[in-house]
Amino acid sequence: MRDKAGTYKRLNAWHKALDLVVQVYRVTASFPTEERYGLVQQMRRAAVSVPANLAEGSSRSSTKDYLHFVEIATGSLYELRTHIELAARLGYLTVDEVHTVDSAADEIAAMLYKLVRSLKTKADR
């Protein structure tokens, strides 16, 4: 078995997902105090889950296992997008903040889609 240490660091999706985590932490810092243990925590956990699952999946010994973790990362990204929509509807995010975070999420979603497609092809061999 080859050494997989740090292979996730070569993924553009992982780097972009980390950038998204930073964005989410910044935009949620101004949320009302009563949301600290509600929406803020949910958004931050969902955001952190994306790069964390990419890293964890890359360490797995099978392509099928890796694919499973990429799919979890994708689910977390869409969970975050739902939280962003809710935060916008509640007036916690500006239009610019929503656009910035949504654009980043779109880019990451496209990268994850390509990674899933690639891993499925590899797993089918």
Find the CATH number of the domain harbouring 120.
1.20.1440.60
Question: pTM of the predicted model, to two decimals?
Answer: 0.92
Establish if 77 belongs to a structural domain: yes
Establish if 1 belongs to a structural domain: no
Domain that includes residue 76, residue range:
7-124
DSSP state of 63: H
User: What whole-number distance in Å separates Cα of residue 43 and Cα of residue 25?
Assistant: 9
Establish if 63 belongs to a structural domain: yes
Establish if 2 belongs to a structural domain: no
The 10s digit of each residue's pLDDT in 57-109 is 999 989 999 999 999 999 999 999 999 999 999 999 999 999 999 999 999 99
User: Residue 2 — pLDDT band, cuts 50, 70, 90?
Assistant: very low
Number of domains in the chain: 1
